[in-house]
Amino acid sequence: MTVTTEKPQDAAPGHGHHAGRVSAGVFNPRQLAEALPDALRKLSPRHQLANPVMFVVWAGSLLSTVFAVSRPGVFTVGTTLWLWFTVVFANLAEAVAEGRGKAQAETLRRTKKETIARRLTEDGSHERVPGVDLRVGDLVVVEAGEIIPGDGDVVEGIATVDESAITGESAPVIRESGGDRSAVTGGTTVLSDRIVVKITTKPGESFVDRMIALVEGASRQKTPNEVALTILLAVLTIIFLLAVVALQPMAAYAGTLQPVVVLTALLVCLIPTTIGALLSAIGIAGMDRLVQRNVLATSGRAVEAAGDVDTLLLDKTGTITFGNRQATEFIPVGDATLAELARAARLSSLADGTPEGRSIVELCVRDHGLAAEPSEQERLAEFVPFAAQTRMSGIDLGGRQVRKGATDAVRAWVVEHGGTVPDDVREIADRIGANGGTPLLCADQDRVYGVIQLSDVVKPRMRERFGELRAMGIKTIMITGDNPLTAKAIAAQAGVDDFLAEAKPEDKMALIRKEQEGGRLVAMTGDGTNDAPALAQADVGVAMNTGTMAAKEAGNMVDLDSDPTKLIEVVAIGKQLLITRGALTTFSIANDLAKYFAILPAMFAGIYPQLGKLNIMGLHSPSSAILSAVIFNALIIVALIPLALRGVRYRPASAQSLLRRNLLVYGLGGIVTPFAGIWLIDLLVRLIPGM
């Protein structure tokens, strides 16, 4: 008999040191200097065309440069330089956001190692080939100390794997065939045993390759919300462009034509340059914040959708609960004592390598002082493994037979051997089942010792975390294959809003579609192949890194820590992205209102003296007023880069309260800030000779 009492388990999620990853961290001014070369490269017209607002600024800067060269002057040259600074600062915001991703991508590139794979041939022998020559469907053998040459699924064996190079998690994890923990990632290292891996990706399309492309921003596409906002900004730009062009005929009629540089400055200050400059950086930073938390989003659309999620589906096993049922109580029946039940339960579980069997032995050791290791005599016993037909397992030792298993199966086995079953067994079993547990009956051939209670333990702080989701207005639904009684008990312990019991893959799909038909956005976590259809149907599908390749391919996010409750953070980041975009849009438009009071009086005060009353800032001269507004317009972009990258702080609140806060803080702030900023800049500009 081979006795197994311990088996390594997956490390608890979220407790590694993330040594393999480089966090973008807090914004620091040095990042501006490092991103400056990229910002200058982005001055090409092809790049500027992607952003209508900044393309108008770029074209205006080019036009002003022509006049500055042909008719140089302090005002013309100064205004032209600051118009170019506006374009450069806008590029700088995007370059800083991309630079943080490139630093993370470089770290990931260092984890990629060229490997020699041992590929299985048709006759069962091995051939050594470079990892880059592997194709989809190839079978490779990987043993302790060797690097897994490519992404795939374990089809034979079980092993502990070091994934710290990819996930940053320092503790090794279990990978085994035939389950939801079969997926392996190229570049990770096998620490023990031997596995056969079936390659599932082509060279250059591995998980690490996709991560590199995503964190660099190469695969980031504009989200629907971002596209809509870009169109709005383009429309506003066209409106202001037509308005500024119409000013020149009015000025000609009044007898004072305005210089082209002045009209360009007015246009640049009136159009929403602030949000236009920061829009791309906000989107990149949203995905970057997910990467910092070890979540890889395959699209910006998924991040944005997370901010609007109404319903959250969570798998019970391994998500809300630990997944492995654990022995929590021994309940003796009849004339049996607690000590007799504990000894019989330990004996029947010594050779049981399942999580349930190990937990029974642990309970015997912890609460009853019994030995964890078998004695010499016990090592000679014959272990009876669990079988679907008998629904029992146990041990035969010196003419004694001890069994544990499903209550009705053990009851029938005892009666068959001439024993009797106490009347209270059924009542105890029903009570345990109603409370969400699983009862196992433990007995000899002719005597029942009692009931072992197994419980699927709810993870700590789950009720509090679901309370946070409820405060966000998100409905939580637990999905489980358990019977309704067990599901109801676990749902009550965890604090979810609803549950779906005895769920099959098609039931999950039907539930998601039902929620979506009501106009709600649905998020779901999963790790198994049977979760793949539902992950694909959900608006936000977060697959666990420990899960199957099918689940990873179906979802639009992958959690490298395999912590299903992290979806709460994903939702918060999505909401933060939307709030940041809304806040800076509000600030940008309010900003433009204040600039009217600086530039319009300066342009027409000579023609219409009455406009002088609008010069409430008391600016020195028309030239200093216009130049001060252009300088402020450029500097405010740089000042807001840290906020765009960090994001506006999110607190769970209703849409109405968020709107009020936006208008109060960013709307009012957007009006007040330019008055103070332009006035201070004017105090310095007026000192320049010729102004």
Query: Which positions are catalytic?
Result: 315
Residue 453 counted as an annotated binding residue? no
Least Cα distance to 151 among 129, 167, 134, 171 occurs for: 134
Structure tokens at 126: 């091995």
**Between β-strands 311-315 and 475-479, what pairing exists: parallel, antiparallel or unpaired?**
parallel
Residue 390 counted as an annotated binding residue? yes
Structure tokens at 352: 């049981």
Q: In 3-state terms, what secondary structure has residue 518?
A: coil
Q: Tell me the HSE value of 401 on the side-chain side, using a 13 A CA sphere.
A: 12
Nearby residues of 327 by Cβ (< 8 Å), 6 or more positions away: 345, 356, 359, 360, 362, 363, 452, 453, 454
Residue 517 counted as an annotated binding residue? no
325, 359 Cβ separation under 8 angstroms? yes
329, 453 Cβ separation under 8 angstroms? yes
Q: What are the strands, taking DSSP E only, across 191-293?
A: 194-199
Residue 68 counted as an annotated binding residue? no
Angle ∠(293,295,299) on CA atoms, nearest 5 = 130
Residue 404 counted as an annotated binding residue? yes
What gap in Å lies between CA 453 and CA 323, rounded to an integer?
A: 15
Residue 70 counted as an annotated binding residue? no
Compute CA distances 166 → 99, 104, 136, 173, 185, whole Å.
20, 11, 21, 13, 8
Angle ∠(433,434,435) on CA atoms, nearest 5 = 90
Question: Which of the 8 DSSP states describes residue 399?
Answer: T
Compute CA distances 338 → 375, 444, 455, whole Å.
21, 15, 19
What gap in Å lies between CA 268 and CA 634, rounded to an integer?
A: 10
**Between β-strands 448-455 and 152-162, what pairing exists: parallel, antiparallel or unpaired?**
unpaired
Q: Which helix (H) or strand (E) holds 219?
A: none
CA 346 to chain centre: 43
Ordered alpha helix ranges (H), 605-663: 622-646, 655-661
CA 104 to chain centre: 16
Residue 537 counted as an annotated binding residue? no
583, 296 Cβ separation under 8 angstroms? no
What gap in Å lies between CA 266 and CA 681, rounded to an integer?
A: 17
Residue 206 counted as an annotated binding residue? no
Residue 550 counted as an annotated binding residue? no
Nearby residues of 15 by Cβ (< 8 Å), 6 or more positions away: 169, 171
Residue 177 counted as an annotated binding residue? no
Residue 377 counted as an annotated binding residue? no
Q: What is the largest CA-CA distance in the chain?
A: 118
Residue 211 counted as an annotated binding residue? no
**Between β-strands 126-130 and 139-143, what pairing exists: parallel, antiparallel or unpaired?**
unpaired
Q: In 3-state terms, what secondary structure has residue 338?
A: helix
Residue 549 counted as an annotated binding residue? no
Rg (Cα) of the chain, in Å, rounded?
A: 33
Neighbours of 328 (CB within 10 A): 15
Residues in a beta bridge with 438 = 454
Identify the burial level of 54 via C-beta atoms within 10 angstroms of its C-beta, where 0-12 means exposed, 13-18 middle and 19 or more buried: buried
From the annotation, which residues make up the binding site for Mg(2+)? 527, 531
From the annotation, which residues make up the binding site? 352, 356, 386-393, 404, 527, 531
From the annotation, which residues make up the binding site for ATP? 352, 356, 386-393, 404
